[in-house]
Copies of this chain bind each other. A is one copy, B any other.
């Protein structure tokens, strides 16, 4: 059965109605914040659980069309941009505030096992197409198209994630806040009939991992890929390993040799690898499906490497950015230009070896625009970083450099890879959480600092994305008594 997204399905109309009905039900039960923001419900007190005040919810709703629309953005060679954010990109879909959009996202590690992650899937095949004569998506990364720096390929792999989008939100302007509600997330089923009911992902223990120069066993150093299997029937909430192999130099269809994992989408020739199936026997990895990279186009440069996260979000790599979560992003350019990619079946805090279980996912989102003029006096006023709200928590995201593009100047996109530390990211997370508590909850600096020491948990988001991340988590129920 189609999900109301396949116009060739004989029961398309019925399925589309059904899907929209489900969406409405999901939306209603989503979170009270969703309720407040879309329904303009009776006032939630200012100490309540959402960052969106009732007045702001009403104001934002006044900017929405009476009827919400539903959009579907498949992932194809035409709808993805690979390895970069760009304010210059033509939108792939235009929507109104309040609309729903389903976005297919593809992992950029699918070429590690084309049989399991690409074969038989027309969208993935169009993106991954790469023969001697043709490359489905030529630019991969924000680097030069002539690969004049390292010769790796167009875009140089300065940025690696396959991003679907951008989505243009009508009326969005710099200074606004875009609220992105993640309504649903599901693994993309393998299209190869040999693996029916399954989905696959790849974990690369790569040269950019925290472990790479600190290995115990030979050969040193080495890169290792592990392929994981995820159930798509809904009966198992864990992933399990299938096999691993050590990376050996791969020659891409244009003849460039990749001694390490230095360019995304290079098809792995398994005639050259040695696959080891006797690994992680019986180990069940709890799945945490989420989008590693989700965010808006920055204004600072025309082509921005997707790897370092920044003030408009991007590659935050926080596994909590999954179903039921809400992200708030500052809008930097007209239309916001939201893109989604880098889908993960699971990841631990730190993403230590360089990647998660990189696994194609499809997400359904509702986008709500909050105009700058309505933000004054609300918790979203002056929000200049990507903030996460879950059912029970608020999270601020600190980075070694809060806005590295602005802070590090013209060579920011290369310098960022040499300047990060967890200590710097903790410093940024501390400052952001302090600001959050002072502006959102009206606390004095002394109140905020005391509270941070006794009730806020600081965790290591990732240490592998150029601009390293620390998140700070505060539970909403701390404020249950302040209403």
Contacts and interface: CB of A to CB of B under 8 A. Distances in A.
B224 A479 contact: no
A203 interface: yes
Interface string A348-390: 1111111111000000000000000000000000000000000
Interface string A274-287: 00000111111110
Given A205-B446, A478-B285, A454 B216 contact: no
Interface in A449-467: 449-460, 463
A214 B453 contact: no
Interface stretch (A4-12, A100-108, A425-433): A425-433
Contact of A450 (B226, B282, B449, B455): B226
B210 A430 contact: yes
Nearest to A450: B226
A28 interface: no
Given A348-B454, A454-B346, A479 B283 contact: yes
A268 interface: no
A470 interface: yes
A263 B114 CA distance: 64
A283 to B, nearest CB: 6
Number of copies: 2
Contact of A356 (B205, B241, B453, B479): B453
A205 to B, nearest CB: 5
A444 interface: yes
Contacts of A347: 453-454
Interface in A433-483: 434, 443-447, 449-460, 463, 470, 475, 477-483
Given A460-B426, A460-B458, A348 B283 contact: no
Contact of A451 (B283, B355, B422): B283
A217 interface: yes
Contact of A203 (B47, B348, B454, B475): B454
B210 A426 contact: yes
Q: How large is the interface on A (under 10, 10 to 19, 20 to 34, 35 or more residues)?
A: 35 or more
A453 B353 contact: yes
A25 interface: no
A351 to B, nearest CB: 6
Contacts of A214: 427, 430-431
A22 interface: no
A197 interface: no
A179 to B, nearest CB: 25
B480 A284 contact: yes
A244 interface: yes
A279 B447 contact: yes
A423 interface: yes
A209 interface: yes
In the complex, which of the residues A226, A283, A356, A483 has the most CB atoms of chain B within 10 Å of its own CB atom? A283
Contact of A482 (B205, B226, B283): B283
A459 B349 contact: yes
A63 interface: no
Contact of A244 (B353, B355, B446, B455): B446
A449 B353 contact: yes
Interface in A178-231: 203, 205, 209-211, 214-217, 224, 226, 228
Nearest to A245: B446
Given A210-B430, A283-B482, A284-B478, 9 more contacts: A224-B450, A239-B454, A241-B450, A280-B443, A283-B451, A283-B481, A347-B453, A459-B460, A460-B470
